[in-house]
A and B are shown apart, each in its own frame.
Chain A
Amino acid sequence: MLWVLQTHPLTRFGNQRAMKTLLYENVHIGDDIASLEVNISCTDIVSGALASRDYSPLHHDFHYVSEQAGHQDIFLNTPHQAALFERFLSDWSGPRGRLGRMGFTMKNSIYANSAFIINGQVEGKSIDSTGCGWVNVNLQIHAGESIATECVLRYALPKTIYDNPWRRRGKEWQP
């Protein structure tokens, strides 16, 4: 799939490269989003848990999880998984994509020293009564042969190079 990306002059700043912008009109129902392969170390899991202020021993204490909690190793916490999904969509859309809603079903734990793939598909698109363009996206974390987590998201994309969902406030933002 070749994405048509456009750059508005306002999305250029300093000496940094221009930011890409995926427009609503260039997304179609049934589109696949480019997969992302992720390798997770113990350090990644502890780093994600600390950054999200989650001090549960499930995410840093191998002896606790293996001897008392019945797990094979420490595993990813929920905000870490949510942050991976948000990064996945931001890589796809550029920074003007804005998350409105995110629903999770966690089926299996994702352990330290494992690899997984995030896949995504566009399941729907619509324009709300305020004129905001929305896409419905399904994402999955595939770990080995099974799906560890499924996520359904409602995500706003700019309709034109002059549109920006982040500038919507109050009644103009209906997630």
Chain B
Amino acid sequence: MKNLPSQVQALINQPQYDNIADNIVSSSNIRALCATVKNANPAYWSIDAANQIAGAEIAPAAMLSTWTRPERWSPDRQTEFNSLQLHYDLKHLLDYPSAIISSFESVFHAPVKVGDRLRSHQTLRSISDEKTTRLGRGRFWQIEVQYLNQLNELVGEELFNCYGYCKPTPSRDSETSAP
């Protein structure tokens, strides 16, 4: 990669921010989200039905990232922690005023169950050379977040496609890519 700071180069494929969830997976959060979207799936409303369907009380797959989001304040944590902190670190290290997540993909492995305590880590998987898009001059990067349960089983992965950039300056580059 051209002109990539060594601090950023050193992050590639190195897991960061091993984060153990503040809270266990809770049926109250599950029911609150299911109520919001009017999801009547009995696996989320009846323990009998959940046991019959999945062998345990399970959480909707869509809630994967919910379980490791930190409390807004904790007596044990002195600095603010973002659930996708590596994205903000890269924006800062590369001195980009703006950074977006253009798309992402989630893969769901072992079911997440009520009472699980998940942990997560974030890994920079790739970063591009500088390019110019309609948003401005910047770099694309991919961050993978893995989620594991207390038995060290992989329960899910998320792959974020991101773009950090400076707003365009006239007639600087000709190479253009999406977004």
Partner of A103, one of B46, B103, B109: B103
Q: Is A90 touching B39 in the complex (CB atoms < 8 A)?
A: yes
Q: What's the Cα separation between A41 and B88 when bound, in Å?
A: 30
Q: Is A79 touching B37 in the complex (CB atoms < 8 A)?
A: no
**A82 contact set on B, CB distance < 8 A:** 61-62, 106
Is B24 part of the binding interface, using a Cβ–Cβ cutoff of 8 Å? Answer: no
Interface size on A, residues (CB 8 A): 42
Partner of A44, one of B36, B43, B54, B109: B36
Q: Is A83 touching B36 in the complex (CB atoms < 8 A)?
A: yes
Partner of B102, one of A80, A85, A91, A105: A105
Q: Is A47 touching B109 in the complex (CB atoms < 8 A)?
A: no
Q: Is A51 touching B53 in the complex (CB atoms < 8 A)?
A: no
Q: What's the Cα separation between A54 and B72 when bound, in Å?
A: 10
Is A144 part of the binding interface, using a Cβ–Cβ cutoff of 8 Å? Answer: no
Is B15 part of the binding interface, using a Cβ–Cβ cutoff of 8 Å? Answer: no
Q: Is B105 touching A102 in the complex (CB atoms < 8 A)?
A: yes
Taken residue by residue from 133 to 160, chain A's Cβ proximity to chain B (1 for < 8 Å, 0 otherwise) reads as 0000000000000000000000000000
Q: What's the Cα separation between A169 and B58 when bound, in Å?
A: 14
Partner of A51, one of B29, B43, B52, B54: B29
**A53 contact set on B, CB distance < 8 A:** 29, 66, 69
Is B38 part of the binding interface, using a Cβ–Cβ cutoff of 8 Å? Answer: yes
Task: Of the listed stretches A12-20, A23-31, A108-116, A121-129, name the one at the interface; the rest are far from the partner chain.
Answer: A12-20
Q: What's the Cα separation between A102 and B65 when bound, in Å?
A: 13
Is B115 part of the binding interface, using a Cβ–Cβ cutoff of 8 Å? Answer: no
Query: Known contacts A11-B52, A48-B36, A105-B102: does B41 contact A87 (CB below 8 Å)?
Result: yes
**B66 contact set on A, CB distance < 8 A:** 51-54, 79
Q: What's the Cα separation between A118 and B133 when bound, in Å?
A: 30
What is the minimal beta-carbon distance from B105 to any residue of chain A, in angstroms?
4
Q: Is A48 touching B55 in the complex (CB atoms < 8 A)?
A: no
Q: What's the Cα separation between A91 and B108 when bound, in Å?
A: 19
Q: What's the Cα separation between A67 and B34 when bound, in Å?
A: 31
Q: Is B109 touching A173 in the complex (CB atoms < 8 A)?
A: yes
From A85, which residue of chain B is reached at the shortest CB distance? B62
Q: Is A164 touching B36 in the complex (CB atoms < 8 A)?
A: no
From A97, which residue of chain B is reached at the shortest CB distance? B41
Q: Is A175 touching B108 in the complex (CB atoms < 8 A)?
A: yes
Query: Known contacts A83-B33, A167-B55: does B108 contact A13 (CB below 8 Å)?
Result: no
**A52 contact set on B, CB distance < 8 A:** 29, 33, 63, 65-66, 69
Is A50 part of the binding interface, using a Cβ–Cβ cutoff of 8 Å? Answer: yes
Q: What's the Cα separation between A31 and B117 when bound, in Å?
A: 39
Q: What's the Cα separation between A167 and B51 when bound, in Å?
A: 11
Is B12 part of the binding interface, using a Cβ–Cβ cutoff of 8 Å? Answer: no
What is the minimal beta-carbon distance from A172 to any residue of chain B, in angstroms?
11
A-B contacts, 14 of them at CB < 8 A, read: A13-B52, A47-B32, A51-B29, A51-B32, A52-B66, A82-B106, A83-B39, A83-B60, A86-B37, A86-B60, A87-B37, A95-B43, A100-B107, A175-B109
Apart from A101-B105, A101-B107, A173-B110: 13 A-B pairs, beta carbons within 8 A: A13-B42, A13-B46, A51-B29, A52-B29, A79-B62, A79-B65, A82-B61, A95-B41, A99-B62, A104-B103, A164-B53, A169-B110, A175-B107
The 3 closest A-B pairs by CB, nearest first: A82-B62, A51-B32, A51-B33
